[in-house]
Amino acid sequence: MKKLINGVESVLTESLKGFGEAHAGLVKVQFEPTFVMRADAPRRGKVGLISGGGAGHEPLHAGFVGHGMLDAACPGQVFTSPTPDQMLAAAQAVDGGAGVLFIVKNYAGDVMNFEMGADMLGQGHATVLVNDDVAVEDSTYTQGRRGVAGTVLVEKIVGAAAEAGADLATCKALGERVVAATGSMGVALTSCTVPAAGKPTFTLAEDEMEMGVGIHGEPGRRRVKLASADAIAEEMLGAILGHLKPKAGQEVLLLVNGFGGSPLMELYLLHHAAAKILGGKGLKIARSLVGNWTTSLEMAGASLTLLLLDEELTRLWDAPVETAALRWGR
């Protein structure tokens, strides 16, 4: 295992210290318990948005803390859920009096710990559960569909609404509407190596790929022979469109998300492959986002996410944002 680390036990702490130093004008990093919060939080009268999950998916979630997105993020150890005391401390730190909304990916550990944190907080909170992965309906790692890269879209759109003054009930309903209009699916070309494990999570032959892989290396739909980008896009979009069932002429947001080990050249090539397919089905790509947004350490591979847009969702997507990972309009 070759990694730029000092020791397995200090990876997360030292990484977060570096993140805080690099983005000191945007965020504050707190320890014992650990969470990242907006430098200008709490914002009086604003709904506080909080998300979190295991480290190893950077920039998710800490990279999306800032104006127009999250107020706080709770990072756990690599691929491990954060703990309830982290959620409680983050919520208390960013609550501006309008309540807090937890945005939770659908994994058993995340769901359980966020529920416990919310119970400890008491009143004035709500939860949006993100389950955009169409690759599986259920697995040993989830309670139904997994929450993956579509989480970024939920955080951006609900974040814009909260920034504009939407109340807690409105933010929750909006988040659930985005989840219902979003579908994702991924493919792995290689595994990744969790530092504490010191070896790849799984193995793939040189001519194999894992279709429908999860962001922690969970098994996908099946292991198949390596195919062209066009064929990969065709299968992933077929599953996503089968779930969303858009009408001809529908405007969509296309997110091409890298898992950490595939170069931008390949991600843009995959966007082109997806664009040809979507155009052939009468769908219009109105907005795009390409890059590493929900990674799986150094895994080679990518996921595609589609969001069915309407006028309100497009406006909120376009609203100003200033975080370590996403910035426009300010």
Question: Could you list the active site residues?
Answer: 57, 216
Determine whether 124 is exposed, middle or buried from the number of CB atoms within 10 Å of its CB (0-12, 13-18, 19+): middle
- Locate 107 and state its tokens: 């994994």
Integer Cα distance of 11 and 6 in angstroms: 7
Residue 16: CB atoms within 10 A of its CB come to 20
By DSSP bridging, strand 48-55 and strand 72-78 are parallel
Integer Cα distance of 62 and 52 in angstroms: 8
**Residue 241, amino acid:** L
The answer to whether 160 and 245 are in contact (CB under 8 A) is no
Give the residues across from 328 on adjacent strands. 321
The answer to whether 61 and 53 are in contact (CB under 8 A) is yes
DSSP label at 244?
H
